[in-house]
Structure 1
Amino acid sequence: MSGWPSTTAKTQPLKGITVVAIEQAVAAPFCTRQLADLGARVIKIERPGQGDFNRHHDDRVNGLCSHFVWTNRSKESLALDLKKPEDLSILKQLIERRADVVVQNLAPGATARMGLSYEQLSKTKPSIIVCDISGYGSDGSYRDKKAYDLLIQSEAGFLSVTGSPGHPAKAGCSISDIAAGMYGLTNILTALFHRANTGKGCHIDVSMLESTVEWMSFPMYYAFNGAPAPAMAGAAHASIYPYGPFVAGDNKSVMLGMQNDREWVSFCEHALEQPSLARDPRFDTTALRSANRDLLKQIIEQAFAKLSVEEVVARLDKAKIANAKVNTMADIWAHPQLKERQRWKEVDSAVGAIPALIPPGLPESFEARMDPIPTVGQHNEKILAELKE
């Protein structure tokens, strides 16, 4: 067992920690990629030949899958057919001899049938940390239901408050997978800290449903004791106005957010250049502005119609009104703030260098590990040789 690493300037704090990842799709790979970002050695177990099915959902990154590129850099790929006793034996040896952490998101009960549950592994290796990530958790009547990100978003109530009336909308990214991956990450880090103090491992049971419901706590409490839930409002705010997207003269949109009457006065004077509007009795309170939002939207967009989105943003900044551009993916790749803060780095792959965002929030003394994206079974020879030592 590698134990807990020491830290020095420009260190990778999890260097020396080995993670065996029996993973597929997004939730577990996103969790373990972040452990790799922090320096952990992550050995990804894949099916021989095709590997993780998430390698093949699209080919948008110069022939590689967008999801796979995002969640699998800095890992080693070990291709094993776990239906073969000899390959399963190799995996058990690897865990026994090398692993500090096992992360898996196979179908519920699959790893237990292979002898790889926490209860089974901890009998011979009490220090092992096992993190199971699943749709609904390791028990309960929903345990065996199939769980994909959109289905969990629906089950967790996300679709009931997102979108427009009659048109529920999912999130544009895999938020339930991301939520489960993040809770896997934080609990594994906590378990490593606990083990450093006690020498004991533990079992972590992460449910996509529970992870997403935690993120739904505001609308749940808003609807406490049978009260009405927050109204679907598209990209607008259900009760505050103006708050949401508005179209400028170049057909680009700007998102603005106003919080109080003081900002309303400044908005009318500097952004609309109509100071008298601030005293209009139809709009002089937050409630009235919200109630008369259709009329107010026309007034605002008429004022913005002669301006480019850049000019609108300049006026909003002058008025000290919170705002943001409604950016496209191309805009994000070229975002000046990310460039000025030098947040991009290239990682290698079988198809060449690919840009990747440096992990957010790392202390200056930490160095993110951003190594290549592996091909299926790329590290078999290396890892199998280690087990013979």
Structure 2
Amino acid sequence: MPSLSADASPAGPLSGLLVVSIDQAVAGPLCSMRLADAGARVIKIEAGEGDRARDYDTALGSTSAAFGWLNRGKESVVLNLKDADDLALVKAMLSQADVFVQNLAPGASDRLGLGAAQLIAEFPRLIIVDIMGYGRGTPHAAKRAYDMLVQAESGICAVTGTPDVPSKVGISIADIGTGTNAYCAVLEALLQRERTGHGQAIEVAMFDAMAEWMSLPLLHYDYMGVETARFGLSHASVYPYRPYHCADGDIVVSIQSTAEWVRFCSHVLRLPDLAKDPRFIDNWARVQNRDALDAAVHAVFTPHGCAEMIERLEAGQIAWARVSTLHDLSVHPALRRISVEMPGGERVEMPRPAGRPVASGSKVPALGADSAAIRAEFARGAAATTKSIA
């Protein structure tokens, strides 16, 4: 079993596992970061110029916000994958690795001799994760893909925004969803390997991730003939689920069931007969008559302040929220943080990963910080690989 890095948690459920990644930007690094968070040793292979996300901005001093967020707890080695000796070093690392994660451009891994079919033949216990834009065997397999492109292609933008203006989601959901799917797939493959002794090749496509997330509007279209419209900060198929204006601000209200609708009318609107109005009798009726419903709700909310309406919502056990700004999030009492050290030694407070009660994060590596040590560690295996190839 490979030795653990200093950043790997000895108590982590994946401690003792070695992950090799050739990834950049968001989707691949998020997957490998989750593995590092769980205690795996993650060696990140970078080209001489480094992961392109390192230079997106200088928000964190010595690195960008994106790179600092997604690369804690990893080691960095600089290698030239077109150099035979460096490629042999990669093979030596993979011969000891449990997981290999890559999100190179379409076809690049095959051209380098690091394609899934070749690697699974050479290293039967290795779990290989290919992160791509579109699935192999589809007409788009060779198409380059980035987050906003996939959001647009998958229909996300068609259901996001205002009636007049389609929009992308404000964060990189295609990348984040894909990286999360990849992490889950790795955990499943590790469990499967415990039973069978064999690794496997895993393909995780960004388009697949977004297409699945589009299941609700797609099913409505395919089986009801309903094309989901864009309603801004209002739900398209559950109602009322939107912000309402008070005298001093807005409150988002969510009604998810008939019982909540009845309580909302009685305790919040104080119009109990409204719950029996045929236009609003069930959720689908409320969706179809949203304009009339909004007029009735706003007539109650607008004259009153947020504090009074929140008190009514609480009394009626109705879910509500404010529309927070970034400042509001930064000081939110529910926000829990971890402290992460950047390559230049800066300490940065980041949101704590959900479901992981860690007190602090690990260090983000400087470009090539571990190159010498990693080259020395795997040199013998690399020499053997080079000799066998010759």
Matches of 2:42 and 2:257, distance apart in 1? 49
Once the two structures are aligned, what percentage of the paired residues are identical?
41
Deviation at 1:64, TM superposition (A): 3.0
The answer to whether the 8 Å contact 1:72/1:373 transfers is: yes
The aligned counterpart of 1:84 is 83
Question: What SS is found at the alignment partner of 1:151?
Answer: helix
Once the two structures are superposed, what CA deviation does each residue of 1:32-73 show, in whole Å capped at 9, x if it has no partner? 11111101111111122x310011222333463222122111
Give the Cα separation in 2 of the matches to 1:213 and 1:46: 31
Aligned to 2:64: 65
Q: What is the Cα deviation at residue 291 of structure 1?
A: 5.2
d(CA) in 1 for partners of 2:259, 2:150: 41
Structure 1 partner of 2:147: 149
Q: Is the 8 A contact 1:272 1:303 kept in 2?
A: yes
Q: 1:131 aligns with which of 129, 132, 156?
A: 129
User: Could you tell me which residue of structure 2 aligns to residue 168 of structure 1?
Assistant: 166
Q: Deviations over 1:69-89 (max 9, x none)?
A: 221111111111222333222
**4+ residue runs of structure 1 moved beyond 4 angstroms?**
273-292
What's the counterpart of residue 12 of structure 1? 12
Are the equivalent residues in 2 in contact too, given 1:240–1:259 (CA < 8 A)?
yes
CA change 1:238–1:120 in 2 (3 A) is closer
Report the Cα offset of residue 327 of structure 1: 1.4
1:321 corresponds in structure 2 to 318
Q: Give the alignment's TM-score, normalised by structure 2.
A: 0.86
Query: Which stretch has the larger CA shift, 12-21 or 260-269?
Result: 260-269
Report how many aligned residue pairs link the two structures.
374
Query: What is the rounded CA distance, in whole Å, between the counterparts of 1:375 and 1:35 in structure 2?
Result: 19
Q: Which amino acid is the alignment partner of residue 36 of structure 1?
A: A
Provide closer, same or farther for how the CA distance between residues 198 and 318 of structure 1 changes in structure 2, counting only shifts above 3 A.
same
Residue identity matched to 1:319: G
Q: Secondary structure at the match of 1:126?
A: coil
TM-score by length of 1: 0.86
Any idea what the Cα deviations from partners look like across 1:250-295, whole Å, max 9, x if unmatched?
23x2210124555344334433455676677876665665555445
Matching residue of 1:6: none
Preserved contact between residue 223 and residue 230 of structure 1 (Cα < 8 Å): yes
| Equivalent AA in structure 2 for residue 360 of structure 1 | A
Residues 99-119 of structure 1, C-alpha deviation per residue, up to 9 Å, x if partnerless? Answer: 111100001211111111222
Which amino acid is 1:355 matched to?
Answer: E
Would you say the 8 A contact 2:133–2:146 is kept in 1? yes
8 A Cα contact 1:2 1:100, kept in partner: no
Which shifted more, 328-337 or 143-152? 328-337
Structure 2 CA distance, aligned partners of 1:287 and 1:202? 45
CA deviation string 1:149-191 (max 9, x = no partner): 1111122122222222232121111111122112211111111
Q: Alignment partner for residue 331 of structure 1, among 325, 328, 349?
A: 328
Structure 2 gaps of 5+ residues are 4-8, 381-390
How far apart in 1 are the matches of 2:182 and 2:112? 22
CA shift for structure 1 position 142 = 1.1
1:344 maps to 2:337: yes
SS of the aligned residue for 2:263 comes to: helix
1:35 match: 35
Q: What are the within-5 Å matches in structure 2 for residues 288-367 of structure 1?
A: 289-290=286-287, 293-338=290-335, 343-349=336-342, 350-362=344-356
* Partner amino acid, structure 1, of 2:50: G
Alignment RMSD (CA, Å): 2.8
Taking structure 1 as reference, are residues 237 and 46 closer, same or farther at Cα in structure 2, changes over 3 Å only? same
Tell me which of 257, 260, 263 is aligned to 1:266. Answer: 263
Q: Give the 3 Å change call, closer, same or farther, for CA 45–232 of structure 1 in structure 2.
A: same
Distance 1:250 1:13 in 2: 49
1:130-156 alpha-carbon deviations (Å, 9 max, x no partner): 110000123332111111111111221
CA shift for structure 1 position 20? 0.5
What residue identity is the alignment partner of 1:357? P
Gaps of 5+ in 1: 4-8
Question: Which amino acid letter does the alignment assign opposite residue 171 of structure 2?
Answer: C
Matched, 1:212 2:210: yes
Alignment-derived partner of residue 251 in structure 2: 254
Residues 195-217 of structure 1, C-alpha deviations (whole Å, 9 max, x = no match) = 22222111111111112111111
